[in-house]
Amino acid sequence: MKKTLWIVLAVLILIVGGSYFYFNTSPSPFAEAAGDSTKKVDVVDDSGFLMFTPLNQEVKESVIFYPGAFIDSLSYAPMAKGLADAGYKVYIADMPLGLAVFGQNKAADIMDSNTDEHFVIGGHSLGGAMAARFAHNNMGELDGIFFLASYADEKGTLAEAPFPALSITATKDGVLNWDTYEKDKKYLPEDTTFVSIKGGNHAQFGAYGKQNGDNDATISVEEQTKQTVAALKTWLAVAVK
């Protein structure tokens, strides 16, 4: 029995390790630059979260973000910085083994420690699906959810959620399972806004270079980030109460 357990554990390590090297890419210079503090935004890496706090302005809403599989949290710094510049506090979670499936409830750590804040949650790819599962179990604690190239599944159904959702996709995305995405729209809240970024791809919802299986984007990562942030700001201002 012990031998079998060790074999299973070894196989799991090989699978996770191999997947990490297959999928993982480092944050780009664009992402690294966005990870620096400015006069408008304080950036702190602490307690398993990368935090972007607006300075000299009232925080409108706090955003918790779950990264895609094996993607460094810093890769989403350009998006987070754009939101923080507009007055939204952003927490990007560092996931165990780089997988949100092992950190589905990390949002609770932030929410429990900051009870005076109001939260929306979101995520990219696998991170979005796990954010939906957290939201499914904590509907009364959230003001909204957003998905970047992602969707809710049956275990994370939000069909009866009392809050709005935002779904952002990109036309050149070669990683998103489009058939499942369409099928699982039934698990989204009735109040869901859909945005499509023409020419964008899966990887450019972060800033970590090309991802295996993805299509080439016809717009820059800077442009895709700009459009993503604009869509998020509009949704946060109009739909989230």
> CA-CA distance, 161 to 178, in Å (whole number)?
23
Whether pLDDT at 101 is above 50: yes
Q: Would 23 be classed as within a structural domain?
A: no
| pLDDT tens per residue, range 154-209 | 999 999 999 999 999 999 999 999 999 999 999 999 999 999 999 999 999 999 99
Whole domain around residue 210: which residue ranges? 28-238
Number of domains in the chain: 1
Pairing state between β 61-66 and 88-93: parallel
* Residue 72 falls inside a structural domain: yes
Residue 170 lies in a domain: yes
pLDDT band, very low/low/confident/very high, at 138 (cuts 50, 70, 90): very high
**Does residue 92 lie within any of the structural domains?**
yes
Is position 2 within any domain? no
Q: Convert the pLDDT of each residue in 6-64 to its tens digit.
A: 443 333 344 444 444 445 568 999 999 999 999 999 999 987 899 999 999 999 999 99
User: Does some domain include residue 15?
Assistant: no
Residue 147: name the closest of 137, 138, 134 by CA.
134
Is 5 among the domain residues?
Answer: no
Find the mean pLDDT for residues 117-127. Answer: 97
The CATH number of the domain holding residue 62 is 3.40.50.1820
Answer yes or no: are the C-beta atoms of 13 and 59 closer than 8 Å.
no
| In-domain check, residue 6 | no
